[in-house]
Structure 1
Amino acid sequence: MNNEGNFLVKQISEELSQNPFGRGMCTRFPPEPNGYLHIGNAYAIHTNFTMAERFNGSFHLRFDDTNPLKEDIGYVNAIIDDIKWLGYDPGEHIYYGSDYSEEIYNAAVRLIKKGKAYVCDLSPEELTHYRGTLTEPGRNSPYRDRPVEENLELFVKMKEGGFPASSSVLRAKIDMASPNLNLRDPVIYRIIYAEHYRTGHEWCIYPMYDFAHPIQDAIEGITYSLCSIEFKDHRPLYEWVLKELDIHEPPRQREFGRLSITGAVTSKRWLRQLAEGGYVDGWDDPRLPTLRGLRRRGYTPASIRRFIEEVGGIRSQSTVDISLLDHCLRQDLKASTVSVMTVLQPLKVVITNYPEDETELLMIENNSENETMGKREVAFSRTVYIEREDFMEQPPKGFHRLSLGGEVRLKGAYFIRCENVIKDPDTGEITELRCTYDPLTKSGRGFTGRKVKGTIHWVSADHAVTADVHLYDSLLLTQKLPDEDNGDWTAAINTDSLAVVSNCLTEPFVKHAGPEQRFQFLRHGYFCVDTKHTTENKLVFNRIVPLKDTWNKR
């Protein structure tokens, strides 16, 4: 992110010039461990991390684990791993909101003693009804004026498990007529009987995020709580809590825009439905914009960081074309990946005048964009396979690949001419090409004679390695998503978003590729070893992106 032109940098610089803090800059990212991170979260992480870095401060990762019904240690471990993979390692600064349970409870007691909080026995339905609407003020709870001592006794009874779940809550006493619904005596504690993944059954009351968050920030010495724009209306409550608790040099909440990308679901609720409803292959499905999915597909941390830098500072809800993300990936991969020849739809070619049982080792560059990556040996033999689409018996004008009677160069090898076509007698399908080669046209010999217009890739039949390839299209049929709360959004799912191509043939160079290793498959795009389905006996590759943008052509 270009910090020099970022509105947050300017705002924070102006505020820090007044020396409001007697401590160093400190930011935080507070995920709830009830799901996996996505590309929008990466923007928030980047904003907090780079802002701390810009002002020589520290960055905290703190888990908002105050709802035991949805949280799990598996999500915690995945979030830590994803943040480190992105390059935003918090080091020793990993914290858990549940570790502050006693301090948060004591803060609630302080508010009760000040007459700023009360135990309310309205049912959840009654609470909603009493709250009012955007155009109508709320109504005071009949329990709002309970004496302080009674509220203290009831709150202790809540803590000790003396009430059924949802029967009582602790509410802040602010203003039921406020135009900001978040200030209409919000619930700050509720009763939940469930095992917490860290504290077990030690607690049966849990603070709401809007109450716990500012207290946790104050405990950790956070100076700036940087969050996405949907929390702007929550800022007055954040500030109210800190003020009523007499926090010295309180942290400041500042907001930035929320990032989405075209054609991708970033709502956690929608992602959960996709991942757990069988629509995709789990949270790490390469079609999802989760960091797990992007990583498995083959996106690099550098490409995601570059994408966020390109987006820059945003003030409101912004949707960025996914082609920008893919562009950043191509820029990262084009000069750093080995280009190999892989045939997705093999067509057999027998070179009839090439010696039988002979193998020739040819030298082919690893990357035409980067000479420093050197060359590799590629085996050539009498029988090779080419792409089926690279041959046409009766080609149209402008077709520069192989045809009957036509000539083409095999990349890094020789010119070949198709002399005969073998077909299946029952179906008429072409099963084999009989060709001849010109030994004087070997690549690298400095041959300056006749030329051919086309060069195609190939794989030696005797040396090819078999692999499965996953080709991805957009998961959604439309780049503009339907309203989250209206209509059947699942109707927008593209049921043809994954094509599995089995028994592809590739060079033996990739045989021992490691997890997440990336290659360019000539003409087909950039590919990554699939970490979920690759086994000792089976190679599976995911196409990360084609060589050129195709999103806007759909």
Structure 2
Amino acid sequence: MASNEPAPASNFIRNIVKADVANGKHDGRVLTRFPPEPNGYLHVGHVKSICLNFGIAEEFGGQCNLRFDDTNPGKESTEYAEAIEEDVRWLGFEWAEHRHASDYFEQLYDYACQLIRDGKAYVDSSTAEEMREMRGTLTEPGTESPCRDRPIEQNLDLFERMRAGEFEDGAHVLRAKIDMSAGNINMRDPTLYRIRKMDHIRTGDAWNIYPMYDYTHCLSDAIEGITHSLCTLEFEDHRPLYDWVLDELETPCHPQQIEFARLSLEYTMLSKRRLIQLVDEGHVQGWDDPRMPTIVGMRRRGYTPAALRDFCERIGVTKNDAWIEMAVLEGAIRDDLNVNAERRMAVLDPLKVVITDLPEDHEQILDFANHPQNENAGRRDVGFTREIFIEREDFSDHPPPKYQRLVEGGEVRLRGSYIIRCDEVIRDDAGRIIELRCSHDPDTLGRKPEGRKVKGVIHWVSAKTGVPAEVRLYDVLFTESNPAAAADVASVLNPESLTIAENAIVEPALAAALPETRFQFERLGYFVADRHDHTESRPVFNRTVSLRDTWAR
């Protein structure tokens, strides 16, 4: 991470860790972990967890492991695993050790056998439906399975045969023997292992049984010596089971699970199932579509790692669920790009301007600063010619009140260049404006005009040296602030989430930019050269965020 980023704000987790370090708990060590399941692409909600786990470790001189919770072979893939690694590194973090839950499969099996020998676990042959019925409700206790009192030796034998592959999926499960009348349903003899006869991305066909998350999670933490196990709030009701497993077994240590509120961002959907639906039904163009809340999507849109880390600091860490306004995220992006993005000129909807009092072969090199507040960004040459393009909306033949751009008979300054006057408007047979004939004031390059005020300043691109480009204008994907509440995702899709300016003209310096280079297009917003489609011969830019806050009320 950048050393010049502001010090992190205090929150309840930092206070807990700070007190633990001060009191010598865990011998003053801090070891956290980020434990994603490799069954999908990470999204902005994961960014919060990544920043918290790696940030806490870094702040207190500790370390953070990356651990893949790879216990569900039917949904996991190497593609997702590699994408997760790249995302974490792109955000600016490096893990101490790269672990996998599958590294511990043998130890987890041995621990399960120990629970059976201690009379704390049993093999249940009930059907899934029978177990649901016996589980009870929030107001009624559950009932014990007929298999609950199986002899220990029989349980060990069945569990060993489950591992050997003698039984089909669903024939048996291994359950913890806790309390079927517990008020917390998670403690009513939860399943620890189930049969899954399918290959695993790392262990192949070596295993026919796989441990459940709640069982794996706490033991993996203990095996690795994790000191602070940071989880989102939905795991709060699972903490008693986390502690029960560790209390019943002789583990190397007993980490502390601490829960925090997950991220809920307006106009965004983070459900993995819903995101898969968006991709599979073709509502977006893949997981890295810039409208997606995935890290690869935000990266392609032009968000920066520093801005995402800053966003996580701005929203803080609490125990209370709350909706975060999109303006907070966009504000963090905008603030970062305002400081770091060089300026360039691009015209998205070109209108031709001919400066009639210049010779046809006129070409003048103008000197432009790459960034108005950063001399170290350098300068560049911009060609000024007789024919240029301006934005169509920067001319009006029926100007509204206080309009300060170009009108027939009026004047405007071209950014970094001269003041021009519109002398004639050329229209096609349908009455559409196709060209403006203008004259320039040669004494106004870098100087104010004498005897008059010209307030308007517009950007432009030379018609001779400008390069055709495709500019993709992205907006929020949904029309509702809480799209997850909609029964049908398609009903709340924003039909204007993507508009393409196919006839844009950009200055040559933009065409030559490397993919993923970010810019401010003067007066238009912040844009990035697309990481996949942009080439010098066919420039493609994505709008990252508007120049100003469009959410301001």
Alignment TM-score, normalising by the size of structure 2: 0.96
Q: Aligned partner of 1:461: which letter?
A: A
**Structure 1 contact 469–504 (Cα < 8 Å) conserved:** yes
1:264 paired residue among 263, 268, 290: 268
Determine whether 1:438 maps to 2:449: no
Q: Aligned partner of 1:25: which letter?
A: V
> CA offsets per residue over residues 439-482 of structure 1, 9 Å max, x none?
11122x57655331211111110100111111112111111234
Name the CA distance, whole Å, in 1 between partners of 2:22 and 2:523. 54
Question: 1:326-365 residue pairs with structure 2 within 5 A?
Answer: 326-365=330-369
Distance 1:4 1:374, change over 3 A: closer
**Structure 2 contact 102–202 (Cα < 8 Å) conserved:** yes
Shift, 1:129, TM fit: 1.4
SS at match of 2:150: coil
**Structure 2 contact 301–542 (Cα < 8 Å) conserved:** yes
Partner of 1:116: 120
1:168 paired residue among 172, 177, 192: 172
Partner of 1:496: 496
Shift, 1:215, TM fit: 1.1
Distance 1:23 1:198, change over 3 A: farther
Q: Aligned partner of 2:280: which letter?
A: E
1:461 paired residue among 460, 463, 483: 463
Name the CA distance, whole Å, in 2 between partners of 1:396 and 1:435. 21
Determine whether 1:388 maps to 2:388: no
Of 334-343 and 13-22, the range deviating more from structure 2: 13-22
SS at match of 1:505: strand
SS at match of 1:106: helix
Name the CA distance, whole Å, in 2 between partners of 1:183 and 1:527. 51
**Structure 1 contact 2–309 (Cα < 8 Å) conserved:** no
Partner of 1:185: 189
Quote the RMSD (CA, aligned, Å).
1.6
> CA offsets per residue over residues 352-396 of structure 1, 9 Å max, x none?
110111210011221223233232110011101110011112323
Name the CA distance, whole Å, in 2 between partners of 1:501 and 1:371. 32
SS at match of 1:203: coil
Determine whether 1:505 maps to 2:505: yes
Partner of 1:283: 287
**Structure 2 contact 8–313 (Cα < 8 Å) conserved:** no
Q: Aligned partner of 1:470: which letter?
A: R
Shift, 1:552, TM fit: 4.7
Shift, 1:23, TM fit: 7.0
Name the CA distance, whole Å, in 1 between partners of 2:233 and 2:203. 32
SS at match of 2:479: coil
**Structure 1 contact 471–498 (Cα < 8 Å) conserved:** yes
1:44 paired residue among 44, 49, 52: 49
Of 310-319 and 54-63, the range deviating more from structure 2: 310-319
Distance 1:482 1:49, change over 3 A: closer
**Structure 2 contact 22–28 (Cα < 8 Å) conserved:** no
> CA offsets per residue over residues 85-133 of structure 1, 9 Å max, x none?
1112114x11111111111111111111111111111111211111111
Q: Aligned partner of 1:549: which letter?
A: D
Shift, 1:4, TM fit: 5.8
Partner of 1:61: 66
Alignment TM-score, normalising by the size of structure 1: 0.96
SS at match of 1:21: helix
Shift, 1:537, TM fit: 3.3
> CA offsets per residue over residues 289-333 of structure 1, 9 Å max, x none?
111111110000010111111112211222211111111111111
Shift, 1:29, TM fit: 0.8
**Structure 1 contact 415–438 (Cα < 8 Å) conserved:** yes
Distance 1:441 1:16, change over 3 A: closer
Name the CA distance, whole Å, in 1 between partners of 2:254 and 2:22. 16
Partner of 2:37: 32
Of 270-279 and 377-386, the range deviating more from structure 2: 270-279
Determine whether 1:481 maps to 2:498: no
Partner of 1:10: 15
Name the CA distance, whole Å, in 2 between partners of 1:276 and 1:397. 48
Name the CA distance, whole Å, in 2 between partners of 1:418 and 1:446. 18
**Structure 1 contact 359–380 (Cα < 8 Å) conserved:** yes
Name the CA distance, whole Å, in 1 between partners of 2:260 and 2:45. 12
Name the CA distance, whole Å, in 2 between partners of 1:496 and 1:394. 27
**Identity across matched positions, percent:** 50
Q: Aligned partner of 2:301: which letter?
A: R
Of 270-279 and 207-216, the range deviating more from structure 2: 270-279
Name the CA distance, whole Å, in 2 between partners of 1:446 and 1:376. 23
Shift, 1:181, TM fit: 0.8
Question: Which ranges in structure 2 are unaligned for 5 or more consecutive residues?
Answer: 1-5
Distance 1:239 1:3, change over 3 A: farther
Distance 1:3 1:424, change over 3 A: closer
Determine whether 1:86 maps to 2:91: yes
Of 53-62 and 208-217, the range deviating more from structure 2: 53-62
> CA offsets per residue over residues 193-242 of structure 1, 9 Å max, x none?
11111111111100001001111111111111111111000000000111
> CA offsets per residue over residues 492-511 of structure 1, 9 Å max, x none?
11122111110200100112
Partner of 1:451: 453
Q: Aligned partner of 2:479: which letter?
A: L
Partner of 1:143: 147
Distance 1:247 1:23, change over 3 A: farther
**Structure 1 contact 21–249 (Cα < 8 Å) conserved:** no
**Structure 1 contact 334–369 (Cα < 8 Å) conserved:** no
Shift, 1:532, TM fit: 2.9
Name the CA distance, whole Å, in 2 between partners of 1:155 and 1:50. 41
SS at match of 2:26: coil
**Structure 2 contact 20–28 (Cα < 8 Å) conserved:** no
Of 13-22 and 259-268, the range deviating more from structure 2: 13-22
**Structure 1 contact 340–519 (Cα < 8 Å) conserved:** yes
Of 240-249 and 411-420, the range deviating more from structure 2: 240-249
Name the CA distance, whole Å, in 2 between partners of 1:288 and 1:497. 11
Distance 1:413 1:284, change over 3 A: same
Name the CA distance, whole Å, in 2 between partners of 1:318 and 1:30. 23
SS at match of 2:340: coil
SS at match of 1:538: coil
Partner of 1:472: 474
SS at match of 1:386: strand
SS at match of 1:335: helix
Name the CA distance, whole Å, in 1 between partners of 2:526 and 2:431. 34
Name the CA distance, whole Å, in 2 between partners of 1:134 and 1:164. 32
**Structure 1 contact 66–97 (Cα < 8 Å) conserved:** yes
**Structure 1 contact 20–249 (Cα < 8 Å) conserved:** no
**Structure 1 contact 284–296 (Cα < 8 Å) conserved:** yes
Q: Aligned partner of 1:431: which letter?
A: I
